[in-house]
Structure 1
């Protein structure tokens, strides 16, 4: 996570700063760290203004290009409804008065014309509202939504538009080969195992198993023989070689997502390639535990060098939580498929790690690093539902973490004493707190988080990565990680989500 728009590409870190990468912290907290501060914006403007101008001319003719508008400021993607589901950003200067046609990715512009991407195309066109391509695109999008379900939280239309938009955006960010992009712009235009796991879960819970299966299949195909993944991938499956280390939490998230997918489709046999993926990742994690029952220190969703943590010798909670959920998920999958030996091996590893969590983190209130007075961060939600059973101590720690990370605009920072921009809120973090509340039965808290996310969508109704102190979009939109957690949260309010057995 970094406080600059180019954080995903950084490889050098300073003590106390989120390391190379996307915000990952999408800092995306990991994801949390891409906040634009003044110097970052100036650098970004110099880099992208030419590209922005070219994009605006390509999609809008010779319209005047407003100066110094960063390309990521687009309020959302234009789509079509046909396969492949290609998205292109709506230029920011055309957003005023524009809106999506309901339940579609076609955009009605201020002058009444409609912009969309024709089926099979990869560039937007602007057509009259009565052009037959408009009706075809809208019908295709609505048919896809209707083929599954749009989670509403059981609250009528209160969140229907946000949920529908989130699902359509997730589809636009997913390539035909199953590569799920974090977002559409620059350094976000890659596939992270972490984000992909949540997108697969969102597709599974909303009744789109083919899309979920495609994402898991892509990740199975790019997994290394030792069970690990690169930090991120090009959409053609090539690892991005930018120097960032492999991140151990990715294994846990992929194991959890595969189990979740199977739990949502219990009558379907687990494909051989997914079983191979599970076995490799679970064996790697089980063998990685030390004498205390902990995995090695590793980058987590903050994507920074573990040597900068408060306790550089031990993994952060951002690693321990996903690894525990992953081992429990793998053991459950093995038990369901009759692989008793693997179920026992991975189950014993999960028990050891659970004991280490209770011994190393619980006494200090579940901080990011297991030290007295350790700083809190959003990863405390990784040891709560839907990733682990309800625990009163964890619930209290979640409330404490939210309070410590809260901002005047109602959002949260990625973590306590966040070294980046301390005025910019991160939507994935708010969504994680919301998901934990929804999956734990704390409905009012979940609704508070969802209401905040709903109020801070872009002018097109899209969920951005970040929100500035003025309440406006401060990062790329859409962000797939946030969109997927909104879908999962609303589904959890309707019916309890499956939790890996502890």
Structure 2
């Protein structure tokens, strides 16, 4: 037994606890200097994905992201480019254009063109055209699938879900990201729990957009493995002594030692989606189990996060953009107090350039992140707060690159920064425009 007096031990423990709380609740002060990697993207006549160097203005064939051939190009190259451009125009015409007839028509058009070019040139739902972004993140892919299904590009949406079904592990888990061709994780980042929740959520979103019962039933059959494996995995996450999932990296992509709202909320969204999908399949057993698990998790999130304002971690912690995930359109009903906490979080995450950071505790203090800003725009539109949604869309619209691409970040001076376009933001912008049309 130690000879140190007990009061000193208690004081040491208390100081350590306060330091630990401080790490969770005190914002960091790092200031980065991030340049714009490129102005945007284009497709060559051969269908390859190309990046546009910063400061250059590309020539696109009308209404597309296909690069116009050089003046000295041969007839075959010119014909190939025209064929690819016509293929793009046909693709656009086959779906809907969110924001048509509004000041955001061009924003929606460019977001769709960029998503199409990334899919066509990247071979799959890659996050962006820069080397470090040419991977498929299950989270980003899920949102892209949701956006494409919402704009009636069902074939592309289902192909993305096919990819997720193919790379999913037998236990229902996903790694943080995957290579396109080999369908393998490129590094040892490990599994990330939220991917399973987002995959099921996206499938439920896609199912809601198909036109007939026959199409819906075919979709449920096609994705039966994804539904069954994901349900098993999500139920296991909340079946231990604690109804909250185990710690996991989330969209921050940081290693975590305790569960975050960015993990717990997507698991809830996935369980609610599982209940709906199993109900449509006539599987009352799994529907009932998923509903019960979702209800228990909803109560646990409300108690452990909601009591303290839905911060990033259980208990008292700074607010996080995952506050959106406990509101529609991610869950059927807002969690108690979530809308109030979500509104309060906006000021805490606003950056000098006008957009939002991933959270109030995000370590870098200067750069706005477009995916979180677009995420909040979609949430606002879904809650009927048109004014806020339009303000955020207007900010995104006014901070695009010269090609119309939405960058990942915006600097304190308002300049676009990092990769452009970012597929996740494109998807969220499209989903916001659809929500505004559906909730006039």
Q: One fold, TM greater than 0.5?
A: yes
Deviation of the 1:306 alpha carbon:
0.8
Partner of 2:95: 148
Aligned in 2, Cα 1:463/1:222: closer, same or farther, shift over 3 Å? Answer: same
Q: Is the 8 A contact 1:86 1:172 kept in 2?
A: no
Deviation of the 1:454 alpha carbon:
0.2
Give a deviation string over 1:1-54, Cα, whole Å, max 9, x none.
xxxxxxxxxxxxxx99x9xxxxxxxxxxxxxxxx9935xx6xxxxxxxxxxxxx
Partner of 1:181: 126
Q: Is the 8 A contact 1:78 1:115 kept in 2?
A: no
Answer yes or no: is 1:327 the counterpart of 2:322: no
Deviation of the 1:304 alpha carbon:
0.8
Deviation of the 1:182 alpha carbon:
0.5
Find the partner of 1:375 among 312, 318, 342. Answer: 318
Deviation of the 1:280 alpha carbon:
0.6
Answer yes or no: is 1:191 the counterpart of 2:151: no
In 2, the alpha carbon distance for the partners of 1:74 and 1:193 equals 24
Answer yes or no: is 1:437 the counterpart of 2:385: no
Partner of 2:173: 228
Give a deviation string over 1:61-83, Cα, whole Å, max 9, x none.
xxxxxxxxx7x62111112688x
In 2, the alpha carbon distance for the partners of 1:261 and 1:141 equals 22
In 2, the alpha carbon distance for the partners of 1:101 and 1:404 equals 43
In 1, the alpha carbon distance for the partners of 2:437 and 2:90 equals 22
In 2, the alpha carbon distance for the partners of 1:210 and 1:182 equals 19
Equivalent runs, 1:126-141 vs 2, <5 Å: 135-141=82-88
Equivalent runs, 1:234-253 vs 2, <5 Å: 234-253=179-198
Answer yes or no: is 1:300 the counterpart of 2:250: yes
Deviation of the 1:164 alpha carbon:
1.3
Deviation of the 1:292 alpha carbon:
3.3
In 2, the alpha carbon distance for the partners of 1:36 and 1:237 equals 37
In 1, the alpha carbon distance for the partners of 2:72 and 2:237 equals 52
Answer yes or no: is 1:280 the counterpart of 2:236: no
Answer yes or no: is 1:446 the counterpart of 2:394: no
Deviation of the 1:358 alpha carbon:
1.5
In 1, the alpha carbon distance for the partners of 2:270 and 2:313 equals 20
Tell me the matched-pair count.
407
Partner of 2:105: 160
In 2, the alpha carbon distance for the partners of 1:185 and 1:36 equals 23
In 1, the alpha carbon distance for the partners of 2:340 and 2:244 equals 23
In 2, the alpha carbon distance for the partners of 1:244 and 1:411 equals 28
Provide the TM-score with structure 2 as the length reference. Answer: 0.86
Deviation of the 1:94 alpha carbon:
2.4
Aligned in 2, Cα 1:91/1:126: closer, same or farther, shift over 3 Å? Answer: farther
Deviation of the 1:390 alpha carbon:
3.8
Deviation of the 1:125 alpha carbon:
9.3
Aligned in 2, Cα 1:144/1:337: closer, same or farther, shift over 3 Å? Answer: same
In 2, the alpha carbon distance for the partners of 1:376 and 1:91 equals 37
Aligned in 2, Cα 1:102/1:177: closer, same or farther, shift over 3 Å? Answer: closer
Q: Is the 8 A contact 2:356 2:373 kept in 1?
A: yes
Partner of 1:471: 414
Partner of 2:157: 212
Partner of 1:413: 357
Partner of 1:91: 53
Deviation of the 1:103 alpha carbon:
2.4
SS of aligned partner of 2:128: coil
Partner of 1:5: none
Q: Is the 8 A contact 2:370 2:425 kept in 1?
A: yes
Partner of 1:355: 299
Q: Which ranges in structure 1 are unaligned for 5 or more consecutive residues?
A: 1-14, 19-34, 42-69, 108-113, 117-123, 498-502
- Structure with greater proportional helix content: 2
Give a deviation string over 1:81-118, Cα, whole Å, max 9, x none.
88xx54211122423xx4645521134xxxxxx349xx
Aligned in 2, Cα 1:260/1:475: closer, same or farther, shift over 3 Å? Answer: same
Q: Is the 8 A contact 1:462 1:477 kept in 2?
A: yes
Point out the more displaced range, 239-248 or 398-407. 239-248
Partner of 1:37: 32
Deviation of the 1:136 alpha carbon:
3.8
Partner of 1:404: 348
Deviation of the 1:436 alpha carbon:
0.3
Aligned in 2, Cα 1:326/1:178: closer, same or farther, shift over 3 Å? Answer: farther
Q: Is the 8 A contact 2:39 2:55 kept in 1?
A: no
SS of aligned partner of 2:417: coil
In 2, the alpha carbon distance for the partners of 1:81 and 1:253 equals 35
Point out the more displaced range, 282-291 or 173-182. 173-182
State which structure, 1 or 2, has the greater radius of gyration over its C-alpha atoms: 2
Q: Is the 8 A contact 1:178 1:218 kept in 2?
A: no
